[in-house]
Amino acid sequence: MEKADILSMNKDEVCDFLTSLGEAKFRGKQVFKQLHFRKASSFDEMTDLSLSLREKLKETSGIFGVKPVEKYKSSLDSTIKYLFEIRNGYIIESVLMKYDYGYSVCVSTQAGCRMGCAFCASTIGGLERSLTAGEILSQVYEIERQENIRVGHVVMMGCGEPLDNFDSSVRFISLLSDPDGANISRRNITLSTCGLVDEIYRLKDLHLPITLAVSLHAPNNEIRQKIMPVARKYSYEDVIKAAADYAEGTKRRVTFEYALIKGVNDSEKAAYELAGRLKGVLGHVNLIPVNDVKERNFLRSSDTGVKKFSSILTAEGIENTVRRRLGSDINAACGQLRKRYKNNSEVKTL
Q: Which residues are catalytic?
A: 93, 334
Say how far apart CA 167 and CA 132 lie, in whole Å: 9
What is the SS3 assignment for 13? Answer: helix
Give backbone dihedrals phi and psi of 256, rounded to 5 degrees, phi first.
-100, 115
Question: How does 37-69 read in b/e, with b if 16+ C-beta sit within 10 Å?
Answer: eebbbebeebeebeeebbebbeeebbbbbbeee
Per residue in 284-306, is it b (16+ CB within 10 Å) or e — as a string? ebbbbbbbbbeebebbbbeeebb
Q: In DSSP terms, which residues pair with 93 in a beta bridge? A: 83
Coil, strand, or helix at residue 4?
strand
The number of beta carbons lying within 10 Å of the beta carbon of residue 123 is 24
Length of the chain in terms of residues written: 350
Instruction: Report the first-to-last Cα separation within the chain, whole angstroms.
Output: 43
141: CB partners within 8 A, 6+ apart: 39, 41, 65, 182
